[in-house]
């Protein structure tokens, strides 16, 4: 049964986790460019990490049976660097990922995830390494993420996580889908258009 895509306030996420190990994993690896040839995002879930998976012939974390139905990724440093393609978080989301925990994220990728309601949460290198070991040791473990408290826990341990304050508020209030808020400022936008020199013949 496919999970619904994120909607409204993101308060808690529950599920199994798995690890994608490595620093500087770029969006070309998350979704190779040839899969960008589409006018809809709908087929991307199947193609996530396509080339890495092909290379590992069924042993890539996204192919392992034990990870089917998992919804939390644990990654390392500078995850999602490179291209601005929203196809990358779209592919992850459509595969089933709802939360990414890592050492750090590339900026555009972080924003793209936020726009889809997928929190990218950070912890220190040491904490992430420990977490990755725990997850690898027991892939069946159910983890609970609590956004309000910024905790990630199983029955035994609780990890304290971080997220930049703006994103925290947006996710918690469900206002991560910016369009309607932006449109609320119609008058100010019109004012800007009427006053910017380069839109008004430099008068």
In angstroms, give the least distance from the CB of 116 to another protein: 7
Cβ atoms of 87 and 44 closer than 8 Å: yes
Q: Which long-range contacts (CB under 8 A, 24 or more apart) does 32-37 make?
A: 33/83, 35/87, 35/91, 36/85, 36/87
Distance CA 141, CA 163 (A): 23
In angstroms, give the least distance from the CB of 69 to another protein: 26
Contacts with another protein, 114-153, as mask; x by CB under 8 A? -xx-------------------------------------
173 in contact with another protein (CB under 8 A): yes
Structure tokens at 15: 């599920």
66 in contact with another protein (CB under 8 A): no
Distance CA 180, CA 4 (A): 21
Binding-site size for another protein (CB under 8 A) equals 66
In angstroms, give the least distance from the CB of 1 to another protein: 24
Cβ atoms of 74 and 18 closer than 8 Å: yes
Distance CA 145, CA 130 (A): 17
- Site residues for another protein per CB under 8 A: 22-24, 26, 28-29, 32-34, 36-41, 51-52, 54-55, 77-78, 81-87, 89-90, 104, 106-108, 111-112, 115-116, 164-167, 169-170, 173, 175-179, 181-183, 185-186, 188-189, 192-193, 196-199, 201-203
């Amino acid at each position: 049964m496919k999970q619904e895509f994120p909607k409204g306030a993101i308060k808690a996420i529950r599920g199994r986790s798995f690890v994608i190990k490595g620093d500087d994993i770029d969006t070309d690896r998350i979704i190779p460019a040839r899969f960008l040839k589409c006018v809809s995002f709908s087929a991307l879930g199947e193609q996530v990490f396509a080339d890495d998976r092909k290379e590992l012939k069924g042993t890539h974390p996204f192919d392992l049976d034990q990870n089917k139905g998992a919804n939390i990724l644990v990654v390392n440093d500078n995850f999602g660097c490179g291209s601005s393609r929203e196809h990358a978080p779209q592919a992850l989301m459509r595969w089933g990922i709802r939360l990414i925990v890592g050492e750090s994220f590339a900026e555009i990728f972080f924003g793209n995830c936020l726009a889809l309601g997928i929190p990218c949460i950070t912890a220190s290198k040491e904490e992430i390494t420990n977490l990755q070991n725990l997850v690898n040791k027991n892939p069946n473990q159910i983890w609970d993420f609590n956004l309000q408290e910024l905790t990630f826990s199983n029955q035994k341990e609780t990890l304290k996580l971080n997220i930049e304050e703006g994103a925290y508020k947006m996710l918690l209030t469900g206002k991560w889908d910016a369009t309607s808020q932006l449109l609320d400022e119609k008058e100010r936008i019109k004012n800007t258009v009427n006053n910017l020199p380069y839109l008004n013949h430099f008068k």
